[in-house]
Structure 1
């Protein structure tokens, strides 16, 4: 029969509780700061005070905080099927926050804040049992040391891994997620899904096999959003939002491994506003020799209904070896009905004043002094009855204690509506100020945050 052990009520330290625990026991750790190195060498569940509470959105109070200074990690997992849930793991100036062994598997790393270490989660797995990292907040892991500046990192075996619904921020200097295999075949069967990267860094792959990257939102990436660096095979990139990176939306190269990349498929992604290119394939980095396939980048949105440059005016596609297929392309954003995590609010229908063109000014204030906000704006126009038509869709980040103003124009329809998705903080305030054709303010149509009606699901656009 499994037992429950309490820290510090039964044992003063987490390490002492693990020594006393039997297989399948659960250790419950009360709020407090535990300055110790934790080695989990038994199949147990280790639950902090915030176990089961999503780390991406919780206010960091009553935390079970583990700090230490160990090159192998503050928390080291060396047994199968271990659960680490509900902790803050921070301030390791010598190595990772959490390390999992490449010789075991079945880890559940849930609901943890992992911050200010050399690197965040050193995620290795033998792959015998599926391992998961979910609902974690991983931020600012940039202390000097080996593999610094990575949120999730591995350069060892990492097989059968699911990285889902995590948030990365604090601008990791290297990558948000970095599978950096030194040889083919040891990093495979990996699913990276539903993660949010806010002004952070790349998803980077080297020597990986069978990786799917889907439904991630990457905004203002401080490098290429998806960075494929050599020796990869069978990479699927689907339904991601890749907006406004300082480099490329997707970069294919062989800078970290001379072997060519093969069998990449990228579809149904929203790729726009990237500084260098939406897709950049370096010369000599992709092999189409049968049975390998050409790089399939059809049916993506490139930020313009006319398609990517040089075909149209959207994000550029750079393909010197002509190894990619990019047509047909999408003429509308496929993620327009995909809400980012967080609250979704609606103004409801607002009637226009008269038949003239009306200017709509949207003021967005992030009143949070510490937390960056992610804001999504959707605008719709409609008659007094019948269907409505989308005319605005923007996603952007807003720094703490910062205000931005957006201006839109509506005409020819009697009513309009705005919907707002707000992520990471509840301190965002929004006002809508219509002006008539003469520039006169129409205060009776002002909408303030307190009047916004929260809706349970996003209003469909078709």
Structure 2
């Protein structure tokens, strides 16, 4: 799926230990209903573009079998992307489902991730704008959602994290140093049983994190449930586990 092509669809395949399931530099590409079965020797499951692409959909795939200590991500978008959808996928034990760098308009929705070995299940790596992370279920990750600027690409903006179930991770939401302008908005999520923090914001993140109207696993909010760090606005919070009830 390389230069000069467009509008390709790859679906209903089983890939055994590919090392890399796919690599593309094309727009309007669809990769859906595939099973990617790596082994511990895999380098990365799905390496994305090395030049700008747009209108790409990665949907309803099953990723499994890789070693998360050496794995990059099931899906990686590297640079200059627009209108990206990662929807309805399942990732089991690979560590990271999706990593984003320098993207605009990415939608990460309805995925189920069982992470591993301290990796970030959804990694918003730098210079990403208008990213929505909604209706995902993530457990056993280092960070369920991490917003970072680890490679110096620049701070991200307009990152919205809503209606997710984030449980039994080390961090549910982790906002790193120099990661954001304007802050991250994490609202109406179920944040329970995360070992270190429900929401953590580095003191030098760039802005405070709006984490109001979440369920923290306790009617008393973070005081009785998952912890929050300084730099996080968490009042008011949900008093019940339903994410649709009033916030007070």
Range class of TM-score, shorter chain: 0.7 to 0.9
Secondary structure class of the residue paired with 1:123: coil
Q: Please report how far the alpha carbon of residue 141 of structure 1 lies from its aligned counterpart in structure 2 after TM superposition.
A: 6.6
- Residue number among 170, 173, 179 corresponding to 2:77 in the alignment: 179
Equivalent of 1:238, from 134, 140, 146? 134
Matched, 1:157 2:39: no
> Residue 200 of structure 2 corresponds to which residue in structure 1?
318
* Aligned equivalents of 2:130, 2:104: Cα separation in 1: 6
- Deviations along 1:194-214, whole A, 9 cap, x unmatched? 000011121100111100000
Q: Please, which runs of 5 or more residues in structure 2 have no aligned partner?
A: 218-248
Q: Is the 8 A contact 1:102 1:157 kept in 2?
A: no
1:40-67 alpha-carbon deviations (Å, 9 max, x no partner): xxxxxxxxxxxxxxxxxxxxxxxxxxxx
Deviations, residues 250-301 of structure 1 (Å, cap 9, x unaligned): 11111123311111000000011112x111111211012xxxxx31101111
Residue matched to 2:159: 264
Match of residue 302 from structure 1 = 191
Distance 1:221 1:151, change over 3 A: farther
| Structure 2 partner of 1:32 | none
1:134 paired residue number: 32
Quote the Cα distance in structure 2 between the aligned partners of 1:242 and 1:300: 11
State the SS of the aligned residue for 1:227. Answer: strand
Is the CA contact 2:17–2:36 (under 8 Å) kept in the aligned structure 1?
A: no
* Number of aligned residue pairs: 209
Which residue number in structure 2 is paired with residue 91 of structure 1? Answer: none
- Give the equivalent residue in structure 1 for 2:85: 191
Report deviation, 1:189: 0.7
Aligned-partner SS, 1:279: strand
* Alignment deviations for residues 274-332 of structure 1 (CA, whole Å, 9 cap, x no partner): 12x111111211012xxxxx31101111016xxx8xxxx99421112452110111367
Unaligned ranges ≥5, structure 1: 1-99, 289-293, 333-462
Q: CA deviation at 1:249?
A: 0.7
Q: CA deviation at 1:187?
A: 1.4
Question: Deviations along 1:131-157, whole A, 9 cap, x unmatched?
Answer: 21111011217757xxx3233432223
Structure 1 runs (4+) deviating above 4 angstroms are 141-144
Q: Deviations over 1:193-248 (max 9, x none)?
A: 00000111211001111000000000134411011111111100000001111x10
Question: RMSD of aligned C-alpha atoms?
Answer: 2.2
Counterparts of 1:232 and 1:113, CA distance in 2: 31
Matched, 1:218 2:113: yes
Structure 1: how far apart are the matches of 2:17 and 2:124? 26
Hey, what's the Cα distance between the residues in 2 that align with 1:270 and 1:314?
16
Question: SS at the partner of 2:74?
Answer: strand
Q: Which has the higher contact order (CA 8 A, sep 6+)?
A: 2
Structure-2 change in CA distance of 1:153 and 1:301 (3 Å): same
**Equivalences for residues 312-461 of structure 1 within 5 A:** 315-319=197-201, 320=203, 321=205, 322-330=207-215
Who is 1:106 aligned against?
Answer: 7
**TM-score where L is the length of structure 1:** 0.43
Residue of 141, 144, 151 corresponding to 1:249: 144
Counterpart CA distance in 1 for 2:38 and 2:12 is 17
Q: Distance in 1 between matches of 2:113 and 2:197?
A: 16
Superposition pairs of residues 37-76 of structure 1, within 5 angstroms: none
- SS of the residue corresponding to residue 191 of structure 1 reads strand
Q: Structure 1's 267 and 176: CA in aligned 2 closer, same or farther, altered over 3 A?
A: same
Distance 1:114 1:250, change over 3 A: same
